[in-house]
Amino acid sequence: MIKEVVVTDAWVKHQGDVLLNPALKPFEQALLSMKQTWESAETNTPLSWYAANVQLSPASLVASLFPALPEHTQQVWLASPYHARLTRSNLMVMPEYFLDWSAATATHVCELLNPLLKDDGLQLICQDELLLLCSDKVWDIQPLSFADVAGNTLPNKHMCGADAGLWSRLLSEVQMMLHQSPQLTKQGLEVHGLWFWGGTEQVEDTSAISFPSVASTDIYLQRVLQKLNKQQNAQTIVSYAEQLDTLLPTVLPESWVLLGAGKSVRLKNNMLTSAFSKLRQNTWKGLTSS
């Protein structure tokens, strides 16, 4: 029985304001009747939310599911593929659910890019749809999380860290290689680039961790849950807003967590808050991104 819903992109920034994701509009009135508890929060994908929930970095969680890493691996990064759309002046990275990623495409991307990456001591490896970038040295770089990039324009500023210039050059060369040798998803969309993020220098032993069962249609989290055998008897939904309606039960759960744009609101339903909501005009208006 589903008791809680976690939406990782419930809030979006627009011209300095924080707005409810339009995909949640059908549920807005029901959500507004619940008790709200607000706080700041990091931006997450469903996968990074799940990893944080068990106190692991996303890269460490995914790497622990691989039977082995390349010899001499010193650092591991998640590699998130993306499709970009051209706006008036920028490239907008489409959210993860937009890209119909497959194990076959992951394999092709590894075969294409590894001859390029090996000169920098890097190697892409995949297991089904999951992609990791392994390095034989530790890079001094602090890239944004993919959750901060997805749905936004590609960053046009150098990242922090002594290796920021080399890292930016690497991302550009990956984009160029994919442009010259297009890799297509199952729906025929081109993979325009890879975003390397969430680097870790330690892949932890996860044998003693109690992983919760959750329901999600996110392809990356789904594959992790499948390998952990944690898709049964889920009490929590973790989803992007656009994919939520395929997971919700007929009766809406009474506990929600709406994340995004550096905000988090926990919503709880009870008779008292529902009664008071009928006496006032509830609204999300007035939120700002500061």
- Average pLDDT on 62-69 reads 94
How much of the chain, in percent, has pLDDT values that exceed 90? 70
279 pLDDT band (50/70/90 cuts)? very low
pTM, entire model: 0.90
Q: Cα–Cα distance between 199 and 259 in angstroms, integer?
A: 23
Q: Are strands 263-268 and 255-260 parallel, antiparallel or unpaired?
A: antiparallel
Query: Residues 125-177: pLDDT tens digits?
Result: 999 999 999 999 999 999 999 999 988 888 877 788 999 999 999 999 999 99
- Report pLDDT for 111: 97
Model confidence at 275, pLDDT cuts 50, 70, 90, reads very low
Amino acid identity of 21? N
Among 90, 133, 85, 93, CA closest to 110:
133
pLDDT band at 92 (very low <50, low <70, confident <90, very high): confident
